[in-house]
């Protein structure tokens, strides 16, 4: 077995150019070094690989057989090098991101649009899910990074805080009498409350807040999307717990108003989640830099 790939590389260029001198120029080495490498190969195989002639060198029958294999490997190596360069330069590859529908729609969409315009050769793969589902996607290798609500406590994951969101309770015209009032949490519970699904991080957080005041938060309606939270509140089906930044349009136009409480609701933190000690693709590194 010959473990020195450089010997095969010298053989390839000598065969391709038909000249030891040209092979030396292509490899930026001396002609004696080319001759020495070929002699090493011939000694190892016990076969003559080249005939010397007036024009340079010509492959023997054994050399032709070896070249037929080495040529294929050299082409594949060249293709691999070109592919690595393309990935590094973001000319090709893919970006796989996990997150909730609401974070994709209300926060990540402009960044994804900008990234796609600058790097059209990168394919975008978006996996939607709750925070626990996105964690699973990441651990299974289905995504490169996840954008999720914190806190995340998992030794396998590294989470970098990115930005803050402020959650709040909102209502529509049917509850107009509450518009100028300040409600206690007990008073709020006298009205139907609409919450997101139980396994969402926002739902867990607001449930814990109520529990800290000795109260149990039982929703009248549970939904699976932020859009439904907004629409149900606008139609007067109850008071929805949503992220203020995600209903800025409705608050501005007056189709929804924020319920004022006598206790503050702490902001929630959103983080960029990756696998700890795992290398990121060039595309993932570039995208993370954009959204920090």
SS3 assignment, position 222:
strand
The pLDDT assigned to 88 comes to: 74
Average pLDDT, integer, range 63-69: 93
pLDDT in tens, 3-60: 678 899 999 999 999 999 999 999 999 999 999 999 999 998 999 999 998 888 999 9
Residue 280: the pLDDT is 85
Pick from 189, 187, 217: which is nearest to 203 by CA?
217
Domains of the chain, start order: 5-88 (1.10.10.10), 93-164+270-291 (3.40.190.10), 167-266 (3.40.190.10)
The pLDDT of residue 12:
93
The model's confidence at residue 86, banded by pLDDT at 50, 70 and 90, is: low
pLDDT band at 2 (very low <50, low <70, confident <90, very high): low
- Give me the residue label for tokens 């396998």: 156
Partnered with residue 96 across adjacent β-strands are: 125
Distance of CA 278 to the CA centre of its chain: 13
Instruction: Taking residues 78-96, report their average pLDDT.
Output: 78
- In Å, how far are 12, 13, 15, 19, 67 from 26, measured between CA atoms? 11, 7, 12, 11, 17
Q: Which residues pair with 239 in a beta bridge?
A: 193
Among 8-12, 112-116, 256-260, which range has the highest average pLDDT? Answer: 256-260
User: Helix H segments across 120-278?
Assistant: 131-139, 185-188, 201-212, 226-234, 248-253
pTM here is 0.66
Reported as a single tens digit per residue, the pLDDT across 143-183 is: 999 999 888 889 999 999 888 999 999 999 999 999 989 99
pLDDT higher than 80, residue 98: yes
Task: Indicate whether 82 pLDDT > 80.
Answer: no
- What pLDDT is attached to residue 162? 85
CB 145 within 8 A of CB 288: yes
Has residue 226 got a pLDDT over 60?
yes
pLDDT at 3: 62
pLDDT value at 1 more than 60:
no
Which has the higher per-residue pLDDT, 132 or 174? 174
Q: Would you call 59 helix, strand, or coil by DSSP?
A: strand
Specify the pLDDT at position 14: 93
pLDDT value of position 203: 87
Q: What is the pLDDT of residue 134?
A: 93
Q: Burial level of 55, CB count in 10 A (0-12/13-18/19+)? A: exposed
Q: Sheet containing 239-243: give its strands across.
A: 221-223, 193-196, 239-243, 167-171, 257-258
pLDDT at 101: 86
pLDDT given at position 18 = 93
């Amino acid at each position: 077995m010959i473990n020195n790939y450089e010997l095969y590389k010298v053989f390839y260029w000598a065969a391709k150019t038909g000249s030891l001198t040209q092979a030396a120029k292509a490899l930026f080495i001396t002609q004696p070094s080319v001759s020495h490498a070929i002699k090493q190969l011939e000694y190892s195989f016990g076969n003559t690989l080249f005939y010397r002639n007036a024009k340079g060198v010509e492959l023997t029958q054994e050399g032709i057989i070896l070249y037929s294999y080495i040529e294929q490997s050299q082409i594949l190596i060249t293709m691999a090098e070109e592919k690595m360069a393309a990935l590094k330069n973001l000319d090709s590859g893919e970006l796989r991101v996990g997150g909730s529908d609401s974070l994709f729609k209300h926060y990540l969409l402009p960044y994804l649009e900008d990234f796609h315009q600058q790097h059209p050769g990168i394919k975008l793969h978006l996996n939607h899910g709750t925070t626990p589902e996105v964690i699973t996607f990441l651990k299974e290798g289905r995504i490169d990074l996840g954008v999720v609500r914190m806190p995340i406590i998992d030794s396998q994951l590294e989470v970098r805080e990115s930005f803050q969101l402020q959650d709040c309770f909102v209502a529509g015209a049917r509850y107009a009498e509450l518009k100028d009032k300040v409600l206690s949490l007990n008073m709020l519970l006298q009205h139907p409350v609409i919450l997101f699904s139980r396994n969402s991080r926002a739902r867990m957080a607001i449930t814990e807040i109520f529990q800290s005041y000795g109260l149990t938060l039982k929703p009248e309606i549970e939904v699976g999307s932020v859009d439904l939270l907004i629409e149900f509140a606008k139609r007067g089906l109850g008071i929805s717990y949503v992220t203020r930044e995600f209903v800025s349009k409705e608050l501005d136009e007056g189709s929804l108003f924020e319920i004022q409480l006598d206790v503050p609701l702490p902001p929630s933190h959103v983080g960029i989640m990756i696998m700890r000690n795992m290398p990121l693709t060039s595309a993932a590194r570039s995208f993370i830099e954009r959204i920090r």
